[in-house]
Structure 1
Amino acid sequence: MPSFKIGNFSIGSPGDSIFIIAEIGQNHQGNIEKAKKLIDEAKKIGCNCVKFQKSCLNSKFTKSALDRPYTGHNSWGNTYGEHKAFLEFSIDEYKILQKYSNDLGIFFSASAMDEVSLDDLRSMDLPFIKIGSGDANNFTLLEKASKIQLPLIISTGMQTMSTIENIVQIMRSSSKTNFALLHCVSSYPTKPEDCNLLTIQLLQKKFPDVVIGYSGHEVVPYISEAAVLLGAKIVERHITLDKKQKGSDHLCSLTPNEFQRLIKSIRYYEDNKLLDVPQSTQFIIDHFNGDENVKKSLGHVYGRDILNCELDCRKKLGKSLVTSKEIRKGEILTLKNIMIKVSEPPGLTAERLKDCLGKPTNKDLKIDEPLQAEDIFEFK
C-alpha cells in the first residue's frame, strides 16, 4: 500500500484515517475575521486541515489579464486585477492565520499559485504545499516544487492522463516520494455525470505507489462519500458560511452542517472497516440504494481527458506560455525569455514549453505577450 505523511498524520496505509481538507480558498471575501470564523468551523466539525490559495498577482497573471474589465455579480473591483487584489491576503496575514490554526490544533496550508508564492509558502514551515489544477501542467513550477522537502498534494483537474504521467515522472526524477494526487474535475459546481469517480481507481492502478485522493466540487455531498468508498485517501471540499454569499466558489462549497455530515459518514466507514479495500461499483450503488446521482457520478472511465465541462475554467485559469521580456524576430526561445502565466487572450498551453525551447520566433514580441503557434518558426 502507498503511504504519505503530513506532520504526524499517516495517510494511505491500512488503518490510517482519511485526511480531510477544508478548502477555504477565497471564501473569506478578503476579511481575515471571516477567515478565522471558517477555520473555527472547520475545526469544530472535525476537519484535519484548512487550506487557502496564495498568489502573487504579477507572477500569476499577465498585465492584460489583470486589466480586463470585471464588473459582474461576484466582482470586488472594476478590473480582474482589482478583484483579485481585494481577495488576496499578504504573507503577514497568512502567518496570523497559520498561528490561529496552530493554536486551535488544525493543520494550516495553502496552494502555491505561482513561483513567487511557492517561495513565500516555503518560508512558512507548512505541513505541505498544494499545487492546484491550474498548475498541474506547469512543469516549471512542479520541478521547482519537487525539489523542496515539504510534502506536495497535486490536483489533476483539466489535465490529460499524459500530463498526469508527466507530473509523476517529474516527482520521481527528483526522488520525491512524499506527494499525493487528487482526482479533480474543474467545473464549479460539477454535475454528477461529470465527476467520473472511477478515475480514482484508474489512478491507483496506474500509480500503485502514490496516494490518490479526491477534490470535489459537486453539490451532492454524498458523492464525496462514494469517492472515499472507491479508495480516495484524501478528501478536499470547499467550505462556506453561506452559499448565497458573493463569490463564485460558494455554490460548490459545503456549509459546516453539510461538511459535518460528510465527515461523520467517512468516520463511520472507517470504524466499520469499509475502507480497508476499495469497494466495487455495485457495492456503492447498493449502499446508496441505487441513487441516480451516485450512478452517474461513477462514470465509465478508460483514461483521463479534458472534459467539455472543464473548458471554460481552462480558458479562464489555465496557464499559458508568455514572454518574460521583449523578443526580437529570429531570437531563440529559452527559459530566460519565456514564463508561464494566466494570459488574456490565452496562448500555447503550459505543457508545450519544451516544444518551444530552442526554436526561433517569426516576429518581434512584446513583454508579457502570450505565445501563439504562428509566432514560432517550424512549431508543430
Structure 2
Amino acid sequence: MNKTIKIKDRLIGEGQPTYIIAEMSANHAGDFNRAIEIIHAAKESGADCIKIQTYTPDTMTIDCDKEYFRITKGTWKGENLYSLYKKAYTPWEWQARLKEEADKIGIDFLSTPFDKTAVDFLEELGIDFYKIASFEVVDIPLIKYVASKGKPIIMSTGMATLGEIEEAVNAVKSQGNEKLCLLKCSSAYPAVPEDMNLKTIKYLEEVFGVIVGLSDHSLGSVGAVTAVVLGAKVVEKHFCISREIENPDSSFSMEPHEFKKMVEDIRAVERAIGKVSFKVSQREEISRVFRRSIFIVKDIKKGEVFSEENIRVIRPGYGLAPKYYEDILGKTASKDIERGTPLDWSMVI
C-alpha cells in the first residue's frame, strides 16, 4: 500500500511533517458558537485538522434501558448509551457551517461516520477524507462502504486484535482503495501509559505497509511526542476550550495552551530526528577546537627528544591529533619550541 496519502494539496506520510488532528468530539457541549470557537482555537494552537463525529443517538443504538445498554464502569459510569450519545453528538445541521468555517480559516475538516447514512451525508458535504473509529474497526460493511468512496481513510485500531486489523485493512483494499493510515490507540478514557504499547506503531507499519500514527487518549503530550519518535506520521488528540466546560469528553481533552505546547514539542522532535548524518554542523564546528590535541607543555630546544614530560594530549584542538602521540615520542624537535605551542609536523624530525 501507499507510504503517503494526499489530502487536498498536502502529502501525509514518509518524509512529511506529522499531521496533527484536533478532535472536537463532544467538547462543544451542545453550543454551536463554542464549536466555531474550538475550530479557531485549534487552528491557532497549530492543528492541521479539526475532526468531528457524524452520528445521532438513533444511528448509534436504540433508546432502551435494559442492562445491556447501561455503562457500569469507566469515565461514563452510570450513563445509558442512548442518553450519552444524545449529550455528545454534533447536530448534522451544524456540520456544513462548521466545514465552511474550517475551510475559511485554512484548517482541514474531518469527520468520523458511524453508519451509511452518515457517509452519504458527508459525501454531500464534500468531505475530503474519512476517519474510522476504533469501536467501528469490526464493522466491515461500514468500512467497505467508506472505502468505496475512494478517499483517504484514517483508521484507529483500539481494542482490535491483529486478526481484526487485518480484516479491516483487507476490507479497504477490497474496494480498490490503497489510501490508508492506521492509528495505534488505547480505547480507555483516559488511557494510561502502561496500556499504550507504542512499539506497536512500528509493527503496524511493517506488517501492513501503511502510514501509521497515534490516536491518543492519554493525559499530557508524552505519548504523542514519543509516538512521533517511533514513526507516527499522524497524531490525533481530543481538544477543548476548557475542561471546566463539562461534557462526555472534557476530562481527557487538551486545552489550547497544552495542545500548542504539544505541537511545538512534536515539531522540535521532528527537527531533532533529522536524518542519518555524520556531517559536522556549523554549530559543532565551533566546538571542534575544544577537542584534545598534542601540545608542547615544556620549553624544547632544537634537537631535543619529545617525551612524556614535554608533550601532552590536552585541550584545545589546534595541535596534531592524539592518535599521533605515540609516533612522536622519541623523535626530535626541528627547532626551539615554547611551552603552550600546538605541535605540528614541521616541528618534528
Scaled by the length of structure 2, the TM-score of the pair is: 0.72
Q: Which position in structure 2 is the counterpart of 1:197? A: 198
Distance 2:146 2:127 in 1: 13
Task: Decide whether the 8 Å contact of 2:88 with 2:248 is kept in 1.
Answer: no
Find out whether 1:63 has 2:25 as its counterpart: no
For residue 66 of structure 1, report the CA deviation from its aligned partner. 9.6
Extract unaligned runs of 5+ from structure 2: 277-349
Q: Which position in structure 2 is the counterpart of 1:349? A: none
Matching residue's letter, 2:203: L
For residue 125 of structure 1, report the CA deviation from its aligned partner. 1.0
For residue 31 of structure 1, report the CA deviation from its aligned partner. 0.7
Distance 1:119 1:164 in 2: 24
- In the TM superposition, what whole-angstrom CA distance separates every residue of 1:138-197 from its partner, at most 9, and x where no partner exists? 011011111112211111011100000111111222221112111111001111101100
- In the TM superposition, what whole-angstrom CA distance separates every residue of 1:206-230 from its partner, at most 9, and x where no partner exists? 012x111100011131221000100
For residue 276 of structure 1, report the CA deviation from its aligned partner. 4.9
Distance 2:167 2:249 in 1: 29
Distance 2:42 2:33 in 1: 14
Q: Which position in structure 1 is the counterpart of 2:5? A: 4
Matching residue's letter, 1:190: A
Scaled by the length of structure 1, the TM-score of the pair is: 0.67
Matching residue's letter, 2:254: L
Matching residue's letter, 1:200: I
- In the TM superposition, what whole-angstrom CA distance separates every residue of 1:84-131 from its partner, at most 9, and x where no partner exists? 334433333100111111111101111111221121112211121111
Task: Decide whether the 8 Å contact of 1:228 with 1:275 is kept in 2.
Answer: no
* SS of equivalent to 2:125: coil
Find out whether 1:241 has 2:231 as its counterpart: no
- In the TM superposition, what whole-angstrom CA distance separates every residue of 1:229-281 from its partner, at most 9, and x where no partner exists? 00000000001122233223222111111111110111122334x1558xxxx
Which aligned pairs between 1:256-267 and structure 2 lie closer than 5 A? 256-267=256-267
Which aligned pairs between 1:1-380 and structure 2 lie closer than 5 A? 2-14=3-15, 16-64=16-64, 80-208=81-209, 210-272=210-272, 274=273, 276=275
Task: Decide whether the 8 Å contact of 1:59 with 1:115 is kept in 2.
Answer: no
Matching residue's letter, 2:198: L
Distance 1:188 1:51 in 2: 18
Task: Decide whether the 8 Å contact of 2:19 with 2:233 is kept in 1.
Answer: yes
Task: Decide whether the 8 Å contact of 2:57 with 2:83 is kept in 1.
Answer: no
Matching residue's letter, 1:232: A
Distance 1:240 1:17 in 2: 24
Distance 2:185 2:274 in 1: 20
Matching residue's letter, 1:185: S
Distance 2:65 2:143 in 1: 23
Distance 2:149 2:160 in 1: 24
Matching residue's letter, 2:260: Q
* SS of equivalent to 2:24: strand
Distance 2:212 2:148 in 1: 21
CA RMSD of aligned residues (A): 2.6
